[in-house]
Structure 1
């Protein structure tokens, strides 16, 4: 009996040491979005603990109940008495909310998190600026950001698949932040790449605590034994001769994306739009779908070593001037940094942000605003 008690004491002691070495879960404030049902109007109150990070010209997210729902949304709450609806709009705006965390997300620590998501088959609202009623039902994705202030999106932690389900489902996420963050942002966004923004919705409820978990470690396979086993030499078959190296596969010679970026066609002062260049919304992050066109630019500059260019960033006219100037400059710099990392001399690359001062077409339509968001190459000289 004494030995049994001693064993149990050892087990409890060991468990205590283990538990004390783990970080505590990070609890969200009001994780089920309990609040007074609201139709998103200017000044509408979000559920306690949550902060609106939407566009100044747009209304805040909606808090939903089923009774007399003005949008036609019929889902009952997964947990509690209410839930939150976020929309994306075809006028190139979308909704997001934020809160300060009760403990920081630590750089290098891994986390798990779940939240219940759904999509309503009816979500009637009005488009701006026309005022026409539309059904916001195209599937969108949920993006989760870490930052160090309300609405600050310093690092994309996770992104869901398209939320197509019209019943509540648990979505599981894993975070592995490279920086420490004290705030979190939940953002509805378009499934990218997409040629045009669209109207869609995501419903959110029952967010879990953010749980610290061990990071997955890849264990390398042990090398095969090469010495004696059990004191005896083990005969081994002779190693086969290494195969002759295969000739490198020729690069596919498909159509160029930038047909005008050709030495025989360009001249000083000429400007060429970089097509099929995509950024994460409101950020300088270049998506992997952009690599083919950027590699075309690199190949051109690597072949034509005397060409000096300017990379010019442009935005649409929705945000304020200071924001457009900063974002356009940072995006132009991001393209320059990509090319420098691949080996182009920084002396041949200039970058500049023009903000919203040089639109190609009218900003009155979503198509026009999309076309005006761009990065261009301007041929400065042939004296590189």
Structure 2
């Protein structure tokens, strides 16, 4: 079969982009043809994937998205595709991978009626309605149950169109016998002694991921504990404001911003704690990746995958509403705790029996079923 995948932008280190790539690779592995339509592509595509660039010269983000949706529909029409799969909301999709929150619910929570007169609102509301309206035929792939009630409340979307997917982490995240040697190797690269504590953050978009919260928590540690702790951040984002905040807090020397990297498993092996104090997180795949690596987790409970941390008993969750003082207290507690080895054992036991790998396979199953239905099979 032949599938069209639509994605606004691809870059190697985004969570949505990684899921897109894994699903595309699974479809290719099954012998299907996959063509992606996107405004921008950064990096090497997987073998066999056809990449079609549809750049837009519009000034605003929503203008570029609307122009892309129009051009994608034109490019896809007559191409003999059995299913159109979207990784961003837009009209004309047979299957939508729901990585983003409910736009309409957020607007009604945060903005007044005047906001809904603007072009940005009209574009994104129209795109979301095209996917979730009761009369639409789009199948919805959910990676978190958190947003489902919001979509149903806003649009009355039928329950049967939602399909929940398990996490889809890469198996290279699983703890390995050679991790002890990797831990020493990474620490040498960072100039860290074995007795120092490596607090790891992974994720692009530093503002949303709560890097400011992490820096404040690092600065609030007792002096001796702070002097033997290092916050290591992997991901893409605007570093300037956070370097300025680190200097203001006096922790610039305890911070390493490494940018986006493809060797995250090495750092999961080297770390003592994963810190993920996000302001918002539909899923938080890195939480499950940390559990697979046997790494204790400290995260905000608003993360869609936070329930895996609770279920595994492999870390702590900062309750909502968020209080910085509570994060400060929990970080100090976890870094000092004799329970770290228990948390590690619990994480490994959980990862050994839970389904945390099959997202690409389940997504491909649903895409195939939708395509066959469209053929009348």
TM-score, normalised via structure 2 length: 0.24
Structure number having the greater helix percentage: 2
Instruction: Give the structure with the higher percent strand.
Output: 1
Superposition TM-score, scaled by structure 1 size: 0.24
